[in-house]
Structure 1
Amino acid sequence: MAERVSIAAVVANGSELRIELEVPERRPLRLKILQPVELAEEFEANDLFSCLLKARISLEEKGIVLCCQGSRPIVFPSGMQRQMGDGRYAYVLADGEFSAASTEVDIFAPADRWEVGSVADQKDMVMRYFGFS
Protein backbone atom coordinates (compact mmCIF):
# COMPACT_ATOMS: atom_id res chain seq x y z
CA MET A 1 0.00 0.00 0.00
CA ALA A 2 1.08 3.57 -0.53
CA GLU A 3 -0.14 6.94 0.66
CA ARG A 4 -0.81 9.86 -1.67
CA VAL A 5 0.16 13.31 -0.48
CA SER A 6 -0.32 16.65 -2.20
CA ILE A 7 2.35 19.26 -1.50
CA ALA A 8 2.46 22.89 -2.52
CA ALA A 9 5.53 23.92 -4.49
CA VAL A 10 7.01 27.23 -5.57
CA VAL A 11 8.37 27.75 -9.06
CA ALA A 12 11.34 30.05 -9.75
CA ASN A 13 9.04 32.60 -11.42
CA GLY A 14 7.07 32.90 -8.14
CA SER A 15 4.04 30.89 -9.21
CA GLU A 16 2.75 27.94 -7.22
CA LEU A 17 1.71 24.44 -8.17
CA ARG A 18 0.68 21.21 -6.46
CA ILE A 19 2.90 18.16 -6.56
CA GLU A 20 1.21 14.83 -5.88
CA LEU A 21 3.47 12.18 -4.40
CA GLU A 22 3.03 8.49 -3.73
CA VAL A 23 4.76 7.65 -0.46
CA PRO A 24 5.45 3.97 0.19
CA GLU A 25 4.44 2.53 3.54
CA ARG A 26 6.96 -0.30 3.41
CA ARG A 27 10.05 -1.43 1.55
CA PRO A 28 11.19 -1.10 -1.12
CA LEU A 29 11.16 2.66 -0.54
CA ARG A 30 10.32 4.30 -3.85
CA LEU A 31 8.90 7.81 -3.69
CA LYS A 32 6.98 8.70 -6.84
CA ILE A 33 6.00 12.06 -8.28
CA LEU A 34 2.60 11.39 -9.87
CA GLN A 35 1.38 14.88 -10.79
CA PRO A 36 1.93 17.00 -12.73
CA VAL A 37 2.51 14.24 -15.27
CA GLU A 38 5.39 16.06 -16.96
CA LEU A 39 7.34 15.83 -13.67
CA ALA A 40 6.55 12.14 -13.05
CA GLU A 41 9.60 10.34 -11.71
CA GLU A 42 10.55 7.71 -9.13
CA PHE A 43 13.22 7.96 -6.44
CA GLU A 44 14.53 4.96 -4.50
CA ALA A 45 16.73 5.09 -1.40
CA ASN A 46 17.32 3.46 1.99
CA ASP A 47 14.94 5.83 3.79
CA LEU A 48 12.17 8.27 2.92
CA PHE A 49 14.22 11.33 3.80
CA SER A 50 16.83 10.26 1.24
CA CYS A 51 14.07 9.62 -1.31
CA LEU A 52 12.74 13.12 -0.65
CA LEU A 53 16.23 14.60 -1.05
CA LYS A 54 16.56 12.96 -4.46
CA ALA A 55 13.14 14.25 -5.51
CA ARG A 56 13.99 17.75 -4.28
CA ILE A 57 17.25 17.78 -6.24
CA SER A 58 15.42 16.74 -9.41
CA LEU A 59 12.73 19.40 -8.87
CA GLU A 60 15.28 22.10 -8.02
CA GLU A 61 16.96 21.45 -11.38
CA LYS A 62 13.59 22.47 -12.88
CA GLY A 63 13.31 25.58 -10.66
CA ILE A 64 10.79 24.03 -8.23
CA VAL A 65 10.98 23.94 -4.43
CA LEU A 66 8.64 21.72 -2.38
CA CYS A 67 6.87 23.40 0.55
CA CYS A 68 7.05 20.56 3.05
CA GLN A 69 8.71 20.10 6.44
CA GLY A 70 11.48 18.00 4.89
CA SER A 71 12.47 21.02 2.76
CA ARG A 72 13.07 23.28 5.75
CA PRO A 73 16.80 23.88 6.28
CA ILE A 74 16.36 23.39 10.05
CA VAL A 75 14.75 19.93 9.70
CA PHE A 76 16.87 16.78 9.65
CA PRO A 77 16.36 13.19 10.86
CA SER A 78 18.46 11.41 13.44
CA GLY A 79 20.08 8.11 12.58
CA MET A 80 17.49 6.29 14.69
CA GLN A 81 14.59 8.01 12.90
CA ARG A 82 16.07 6.95 9.58
CA GLN A 83 16.64 3.37 10.68
CA MET A 84 13.60 2.66 12.83
CA GLY A 85 10.99 4.83 11.10
CA ASP A 86 12.34 4.79 7.54
CA GLY A 87 13.08 8.53 7.80
CA ARG A 88 9.41 9.59 7.68
CA TYR A 89 9.90 11.86 10.68
CA ALA A 90 12.69 14.32 11.46
CA TYR A 91 13.67 16.77 14.16
CA VAL A 92 13.48 20.53 14.00
CA LEU A 93 17.05 21.49 14.87
CA ALA A 94 17.37 23.85 17.81
CA ASP A 95 20.13 24.80 20.21
CA GLY A 96 21.66 21.74 21.80
CA GLU A 97 21.41 18.18 20.58
CA PHE A 98 18.71 15.79 19.44
CA SER A 99 16.72 14.80 22.51
CA ALA A 100 13.35 13.46 23.53
CA ALA A 101 12.29 17.10 23.94
CA SER A 102 13.11 17.98 20.30
CA THR A 103 10.16 18.74 18.05
CA GLU A 104 9.51 15.94 15.56
CA VAL A 105 7.73 16.58 12.24
CA ASP A 106 6.42 14.50 9.35
CA ILE A 107 8.73 15.35 6.44
CA PHE A 108 5.75 15.43 4.04
CA ALA A 109 3.64 17.79 6.19
CA PRO A 110 3.05 21.29 4.78
CA ALA A 111 5.48 24.16 5.39
CA ASP A 112 5.15 27.82 4.48
CA ARG A 113 7.06 28.92 1.40
CA TRP A 114 9.20 31.31 3.49
CA GLU A 115 10.34 28.39 5.70
CA VAL A 116 11.76 26.17 2.95
CA GLY A 117 15.07 26.21 1.13
CA SER A 118 17.23 24.28 -1.26
CA VAL A 119 19.01 21.01 -0.54
CA ALA A 120 22.25 23.05 -0.39
CA ASP A 121 20.69 25.39 2.21
CA GLN A 122 19.72 22.40 4.32
CA LYS A 123 23.16 20.81 4.04
CA ASP A 124 24.83 24.08 5.09
CA MET A 125 22.50 24.44 8.08
CA VAL A 126 23.08 20.86 9.24
CA MET A 127 26.85 21.21 8.86
CA ARG A 128 26.79 24.41 10.95
CA TYR A 129 24.48 22.83 13.52
CA PHE A 130 26.89 19.96 14.07
CA GLY A 131 29.93 22.26 14.02
CA PHE A 132 31.46 21.19 10.69
CA SER A 133 31.67 24.63 9.09
Structure 2
Amino acid sequence: MNSGLGEGSTSDSSISPAIWIEEVGLRTVDPDGSLRPVVLRVGPSSDARIAVLDDGVLTEISGTDYLDYLDYLAQARRQLERDGRLLCCQGARPDVHPSGQLRQFSNGRQAYVRFPDLQGEPPEIVDIFAPAEPGDVVGLEDQRAAVIRAWDSRHPGSRT
Protein backbone atom coordinates (compact mmCIF):
# COMPACT_ATOMS: atom_id res chain seq x y z
CA MET A 1 0.00 0.00 0.00
CA ASN A 2 1.44 3.36 -0.98
CA SER A 3 1.58 5.89 1.82
CA GLY A 4 0.82 8.85 -0.41
CA LEU A 5 3.75 10.79 0.94
CA GLY A 6 3.86 13.13 -1.99
CA GLU A 7 5.37 14.00 -5.31
CA GLY A 8 8.94 13.49 -4.12
CA SER A 9 8.33 9.73 -3.84
CA THR A 10 10.78 7.56 -5.72
CA SER A 11 11.93 4.01 -5.59
CA ASP A 12 14.55 3.35 -2.97
CA SER A 13 17.29 2.75 -5.54
CA SER A 14 17.05 6.15 -7.26
CA ILE A 15 18.40 8.24 -4.36
CA SER A 16 22.10 8.03 -3.66
CA PRO A 17 22.79 6.31 -0.33
CA ALA A 18 25.87 8.51 0.14
CA ILE A 19 23.75 11.45 1.30
CA TRP A 20 22.32 9.51 4.24
CA ILE A 21 24.41 9.11 7.38
CA GLU A 22 21.86 7.39 9.58
CA GLU A 23 18.71 5.29 9.43
CA VAL A 24 16.17 5.37 12.26
CA GLY A 25 13.52 2.67 12.47
CA LEU A 26 10.22 4.10 13.66
CA ARG A 27 6.53 3.27 13.55
CA THR A 28 3.41 5.14 12.61
CA VAL A 29 0.08 4.68 14.34
CA ASP A 30 -3.30 4.87 12.63
CA PRO A 31 -6.45 6.16 14.41
CA ASP A 32 -7.49 2.54 15.04
CA GLY A 33 -4.15 1.87 16.77
CA SER A 34 -2.59 -0.11 13.92
CA LEU A 35 1.18 0.22 13.79
CA ARG A 36 3.25 0.29 10.59
CA PRO A 37 7.04 0.45 10.32
CA VAL A 38 8.81 3.34 8.60
CA VAL A 39 12.46 4.28 8.33
CA LEU A 40 13.78 7.82 8.51
CA ARG A 41 16.99 8.40 6.60
CA VAL A 42 18.92 11.32 8.01
CA GLY A 43 21.43 13.46 6.16
CA PRO A 44 24.49 15.14 7.70
CA SER A 45 23.90 18.19 9.89
CA SER A 46 25.44 20.39 7.19
CA ASP A 47 22.50 19.42 4.96
CA ALA A 48 19.86 18.44 7.56
CA ARG A 49 17.74 16.55 5.04
CA ILE A 50 15.60 13.54 5.83
CA ALA A 51 13.72 10.94 3.82
CA VAL A 52 10.94 8.56 4.79
CA LEU A 53 11.03 4.95 3.63
CA ASP A 54 7.45 3.74 3.88
CA ASP A 55 6.17 0.52 2.34
CA GLY A 56 9.05 0.40 -0.15
CA VAL A 57 8.69 4.03 -1.26
CA LEU A 58 11.42 6.52 -0.34
CA THR A 59 10.26 10.12 -0.11
CA GLU A 60 12.89 12.79 0.31
CA ILE A 61 11.63 15.71 2.35
CA SER A 62 13.07 18.84 0.81
CA GLY A 63 12.55 22.55 0.66
CA THR A 64 13.70 25.49 -1.41
CA ASP A 65 15.26 27.37 1.50
CA TYR A 66 17.58 26.12 4.20
CA LEU A 67 15.62 24.23 6.80
CA ASP A 68 16.72 22.35 9.88
CA TYR A 69 15.87 18.82 11.01
CA LEU A 70 12.81 19.98 12.95
CA ASP A 71 11.37 21.72 9.87
CA TYR A 72 11.86 18.60 7.75
CA LEU A 73 10.39 16.39 10.47
CA ALA A 74 7.30 18.63 10.56
CA GLN A 75 6.95 18.26 6.77
CA ALA A 76 7.20 14.46 7.01
CA ARG A 77 4.69 14.39 9.87
CA ARG A 78 2.28 16.62 7.94
CA GLN A 79 2.39 14.26 4.97
CA LEU A 80 1.83 11.19 7.14
CA GLU A 81 -1.01 12.95 8.96
CA ARG A 82 -2.78 13.45 5.61
CA ASP A 83 -3.01 9.65 5.56
CA GLY A 84 -4.30 9.64 9.14
CA ARG A 85 -1.01 8.42 10.61
CA LEU A 86 1.10 9.79 13.44
CA LEU A 87 4.87 9.32 13.47
CA CYS A 88 6.00 7.71 16.73
CA CYS A 89 9.08 9.80 17.51
CA GLN A 90 10.14 12.07 20.36
CA GLY A 91 9.64 15.13 18.16
CA ALA A 92 5.90 14.32 17.97
CA ARG A 93 5.27 14.37 21.72
CA PRO A 94 3.12 17.24 23.01
CA ASP A 95 5.66 18.06 25.72
CA VAL A 96 8.69 18.26 23.39
CA HIS A 97 9.70 21.61 21.95
CA PRO A 98 13.09 23.24 21.29
CA SER A 99 14.31 26.57 22.48
CA GLY A 100 15.69 28.83 19.78
CA GLN A 101 19.21 28.42 21.13
CA LEU A 102 19.07 24.61 21.34
CA ARG A 103 17.50 24.47 17.89
CA GLN A 104 20.32 26.54 16.43
CA PHE A 105 23.01 24.61 18.33
CA SER A 106 21.73 21.17 17.24
CA ASN A 107 20.44 22.19 13.79
CA GLY A 108 16.97 21.28 15.04
CA ARG A 109 17.94 17.72 16.01
CA GLN A 110 17.42 18.14 19.76
CA ALA A 111 14.54 19.53 21.79
CA TYR A 112 13.58 19.95 25.41
CA VAL A 113 11.00 17.90 27.25
CA ARG A 114 8.96 20.74 28.64
CA PHE A 115 6.38 20.97 31.39
CA PRO A 116 6.15 20.05 34.03
CA ASP A 117 9.46 21.59 34.97
CA LEU A 118 11.07 20.26 38.09
CA GLN A 119 12.23 23.07 40.30
CA GLY A 120 15.99 23.42 40.08
CA GLU A 121 16.41 20.59 37.55
CA PRO A 122 17.53 21.26 33.98
CA PRO A 123 14.99 20.08 31.40
CA GLU A 124 15.63 16.76 29.67
CA ILE A 125 16.94 16.99 26.09
CA VAL A 126 15.83 14.39 23.53
CA ASP A 127 16.73 13.49 19.96
CA ILE A 128 13.61 14.37 17.94
CA PHE A 129 14.10 11.25 15.77
CA ALA A 130 14.29 8.81 18.70
CA PRO A 131 11.34 6.39 18.94
CA ALA A 132 8.35 7.22 21.13
CA GLU A 133 5.42 5.11 22.24
CA PRO A 134 2.27 5.41 20.10
CA GLY A 135 0.23 6.72 23.05
CA ASP A 136 2.76 9.52 23.64
CA VAL A 137 2.50 11.24 20.23
CA VAL A 138 0.07 13.77 18.79
CA GLY A 139 -0.47 15.56 15.51
CA LEU A 140 1.22 18.84 14.65
CA GLU A 141 -1.77 21.01 15.55
CA ASP A 142 -2.27 19.29 18.90
CA GLN A 143 1.44 19.66 19.65
CA ARG A 144 1.33 23.37 18.81
CA ALA A 145 -1.77 23.83 21.00
CA ALA A 146 -0.02 22.08 23.91
CA VAL A 147 2.97 24.40 23.63
CA ILE A 148 0.70 27.47 23.56
CA ARG A 149 -1.32 26.23 26.56
CA ALA A 150 1.88 25.63 28.53
CA TRP A 151 3.19 29.08 27.64
CA ASP A 152 -0.09 30.73 28.60
CA SER A 153 -0.20 28.91 31.94
CA ARG A 154 3.30 30.14 32.81
CA HIS A 155 2.79 33.66 31.47
CA PRO A 156 -0.84 34.62 32.17
CA GLY A 157 -1.95 37.78 30.42
CA SER A 158 0.98 37.80 28.00
CA ARG A 159 -1.18 37.15 24.93
CA THR A 160 -3.67 39.81 24.00
TM-score normalised per structure 2: 0.74
**Are the aligned partners of 1:68 and 1:111 in contact in 2 as well (CA < 8 Å)?**
yes
Structure 1 residue aligned with 2:59: 41
Which of 5, 12, 20 aligns to 2:39? It is 20
- How do residues 36-115 of structure 1 correspond to structure 2 at under 5 angstroms? 36-38=55-57, 40-44=58-62, 46-95=67-116, 101-115=122-136
Structure 2 residue aligned with 1:120: 141
Which structure would you say has the larger Rg? 2
Structure 2 residue aligned with 1:2: 21
Which ranges in structure 1 are unaligned for 5 or more consecutive residues? none
Output the amino acid matched with 1:94: F
Query: Structure 2: how far apart are the matches of 1:43 and 1:12?
Result: 24
* CA deviation vs aligned residue, 1:45-69 (integer Å, no higher than 9, x gap): 5211111111000000011111111
Evaluate the alpha carbon distance shift between residue 79 and residue 53 of structure 1 in structure 2; reply closer, same or farther with a 3 A threshold: same
Query: Structure 1: how far apart are the matches of 2:126 and 2:84?
Result: 25
Indicate the RMSD between aligned Cα atoms, in angstroms: 2.2
Evaluate the alpha carbon distance shift between residue 100 and residue 53 of structure 1 in structure 2; reply closer, same or farther with a 3 A threshold: farther
Query: Structure 2: how far apart are the matches of 1:76 and 1:12?
Result: 24
Query: Structure 1: how far apart are the matches of 2:71 and 2:121?
Result: 23
Aligned length: 131
Same amino acid, percent of matched pairs: 36
Per the TM alignment, residue 106 of structure 1 is displaced from its structure 2 partner at its CA by 0.8
2:39 maps to 1:31: no
Evaluate the alpha carbon distance shift between residue 100 and residue 90 of structure 1 in structure 2; reply closer, same or farther with a 3 A threshold: farther
Which ranges in structure 2 are unaligned for 5 or more consecutive residues? 1-19, 153-158
Structure with the bigger percentage of strand? 1
